Amino acid sequence: MLRHTADWGATTSATYQEMLTDTVATLTATFTAPASRWVSLTLGAFTAADGDATAYISFRLRTQGGTEVLAPSDDRAAALFGAGRASISTCFPVGNLTPGAVYTATAAYRSSITGTRVHFDDRFIRVDPVA
């Protein structure tokens, strides 16, 4: 399952946000957990950061009922350190899922410095089953 959006958006929040300014929707991928209980989750974006800020893109994982399974974390994030522009991505294994259960992964974004803008474009999230 691959989801992509070309919406350019930004945030100045130092806590993870699922919605960026100037975008029309969150970036999500809904999937059914495989029998192996494991998926590989890949996400990334073309990213820019102002000043000395670090731009982070991570994900939140929820069950179909909305229960949070994994919160966004810098440990599960792609990051652009300092001013500049670059394409960034990361791949993270997610396990202990319930086979046959439906989950939604939602991209989440933050700046390392409150009030300093970080930008994201051509954002994507991909979920692949692991055998």
| Distance of alpha carbon 38 from alpha carbon 24, whole angstroms | 31
> What does the pLDDT read at residue 73?
98
- Predicted TM-score (pTM) of the model is 0.95
| Distance of alpha carbon 97 from alpha carbon 36, whole angstroms | 8
pLDDT digits (tens, 9 = 90+) for 89-119: 999 999 999 999 999 999 999 999 999 999 9
Does residue 91 sit within a domain? yes
Q: Based on DSSP, count helices (H) and strands (E) in the chain, helices before strands.
A: 0, 10
Cα 50 from chain centroid? 20
Q: What is the CATH number of the domain that holds 99?
A: 2.60.40
Structurally, how many domains does the chain consist of? 1
Range of the domain at 59: 22-118
Does residue 75 sit within a domain? yes
| Distance of alpha carbon 40 from alpha carbon 6, whole angstroms | 23
The Cα-based distances of 128 to 19, 28, 82 in angstroms read 24, 14, 31
> Mean pLDDT in the chain?
97
